[in-house]
Amino acid sequence: MAEKNMNRWECPCGYIYDPAEGDAENNILVGTSFDDLPDDWTCPKCGAEKEFFEELRD
């Protein structure tokens, strides 16, 4: 089984999606990788689509 990418992703507005935190406001469970977010998920801060996020490498 392939390992999930659990890196954090940053929106141009500065919001950071962290799989360790999920997105409770949008019913995204803790442990949900960025790749597993629904296609229509958007930044809860500014509404940007996933395509505008940049991966943060730890």
Please give the annotated binding residues for Fe cation, written as ranges: 11, 13, 43, 46
Question: Which pair of tokens denotes residue 33?
Answer: 């990788």
Q: How many helices (H) and strands (E) does the chain have?
A: 0, 3
Enumerate the known binding-site residues.
Answer: 11, 13, 43, 46
Q: What angle do CA 19, 1, 33 make, to 5 degrees?
A: 10
